[in-house]
Structure 1
Amino acid sequence: DLWAAVQTHDVVPEAVRLFDEFDYRARSWPRAWRVLLKAEVMALGQNSRFIVTSLPGLDAGTLYEEIYCARGQAENYIKHLKGDLAADRTSCT
C-alpha cells in the first residue's frame, strides 16, 4: 500500500501508473467510443487522464504511452521551434 509506505518512511516509487479502458457514450454521441484511462499517483499528488479514441488493437497502456504521448511530444517540439524563431505559423508543402 503506497500510503502505508509513506507513513513508515519506506522507499516510495517515483510514480505508480495504472491503465484501463472502457466504452462510453455521451448522450450527444451517435455511438459508444473507446476511452483510455491513465491513473497515476506521484509524490505531488494524483494525475488522471482520459483519451477518447477510435484506434483498435493495442492495449490501453501501449496506446497511451507510445502513440498519444509521442504525438504530444511532437506538438511540444513544434511549439518550441515556433517560440525560438518567434514565428507565428509554420507551413509545409
Structure 2
Amino acid sequence: MPRSNRRRHDSSGDDSFERLLAGWKRTEMRRGVEWTVQPVSPAQAQKPYTCPGCGRQIDVGVAHLVAWRADGVMGDAADLAARRHWHQHCWKVA
C-alpha cells in the first residue's frame, strides 16, 4: 500500500501549539521593568491593533509582537490582561 505524505493531526492539539509558542517568548528589561515579549507571525495576526509606540494601526497579516509586564506587580492575570501589541520597530526604540 502506498505511503501517505500528508501530516497527521496531532491529538494533543492546542497543547503542542502552546509549547511551540512558549519557545518564542522571551523576557526583556525596559526602563527598569521586566517584560515578557512574544512575536506574532503574519499568519497569527488576525485582528487589527493600535500600537502604543506610534499610535498607528497594526493591520491584519502584519508580523508584530505582544508585550506585557513580567514582574507580577498586579498579579499575573492583570499583567496578561494589560498586554499590548507593538510594531517590532516601535518596541525596539521604546
Q: Check whether TM > 0.5.
A: no
- TM-score of the two chains, using structure 1 as the length reference: 0.30
Q: Which has the higher contact order (CA 8 A, sep 6+)?
A: 2
Higher CA-based Rg:
1
The structure that is helix-richer by fraction is 1
User: Structure 2 length normalisation: TM-score?
Assistant: 0.30
